[in-house]
Amino acid sequence: MNLTLKIWRQKGPQEKGQMVEYKVTDISEHMSFLEMMDVLNESLVEKNEIPIAFDHDCREGICGMCSLHINGEPHGPDRGITTCQLHMRTFKDGDTIYIEPWRAKAFPVIKDLIVDRMAFERIQQAGGYISVNTSGNTQDANAIPIPKLDADLSMDAAACIGCGACVASCKNSSAMLFVSAKVSQFALLPQGKIEAADRVRNMVKQMDDEGFGNCTNTGACEVECPKGISLENIARMNREYLKASII
């Protein structure tokens, strides 16, 4: 395939960015999207040009690092996958593909297609954990019976990889789907109940302090989430927050 790529280039956080056009030729339909980006970068290096900076790590849909906005959709046109799992067979010979970074005030651009997602880390630090006594008297993990449905729902919420596509897809740049997944995975388990009120209060406060917008129930986040995180988690977080506000 021969393709035209229109890619956001930005030298640094304070620099003005712009879309720059590139051509790539002889792209195999079996390549992943990131391999296609590697081909482009190799050709730029050969021409002594600066390669395009983009985030990636596992390239297996696990780490949440890859984060491209492709033709107006986080992680591209396919559903239930990350950018690193997107393949070039999704596109046609002669296509023009627009590639941009996540767009959100709370995710400032560092360079080209890389944004700063430390806001998510700070939200996690505010409450995305449980305190466990590791003094030697630790209770056996299987000693507390947990209903199968609760365990399944908690595991579903824990599938969130923190990629930020929910924020990038939302017209309000809301982080509610991410935060609600992190709250829910603990709220559903007995081990998470002890710190539940502080957790939801602190994580929601940090989310607001970071400048993420409010949720207006458009549901774009659920559609674009590569891990199928359900809007039900937002409803659960709202219930948890209400409970924490009146105790």
Residue 61 touching ligand FES (CB under 6 A): yes
When binding is defined by CB under 6 A, the residue of 56, 111, 199, 227 that contacts ligand SF4 is 227
x/- track of binding to ligand SF4 for residues 139-168 (CB under 6 A): ---------------------xxxxxxx--
Identify residue 90 by its one-letter amino acid code: T
Number of residues that bind ligand SF4 (CB under 6 A): 14
What span, in angstroms and rounded, lies between the C-alpha atoms of 28 and 149?
43
- Number of Cβ atoms within 10 Å of the Cβ of 29: 12
Residue 207 touching ligand SF4 (CB under 6 A): no
User: For residues 62 and 118, which CB has a smaller minimum distance to ligand FES in the complex?
Assistant: 62
Give the E-state strand segments of the chain in sequence order.
3-9, 18-24, 69-70, 73-74, 96-100, 109-111, 114-115
User: For residues 74 and 127, which CB has a smaller minimum distance to ligand FES in the complex?
Assistant: 74
- Number of Cβ atoms within 10 Å of the Cβ of 222: 17
Residue 15 touching ligand FES (CB under 6 A): no
The sign of the torsion formed by the CA atoms of 187, 238, 211, 100 equals positive
Choices 52-60, 83-91, 175-183, 204-212 (CB under 6 A): range interacting with ligand SF4 = 175-183
Choices 7-15, 55-63, 132-140, 192-200 (CB under 6 A): range interacting with ligand FES = 55-63
Instruction: Concatenate the DSSP letters of all residues of 152-168 into one string.
Output: HHHHHHHT-----HHHH
What tokens does 1 get? Answer: 């395939």
User: For residues 64 and 101, which CB has a smaller minimum distance to ligand FES in the complex?
Assistant: 64
Give the binding site for ligand FES (CB under 6 A). Answer: 56-59, 61-66, 82-84
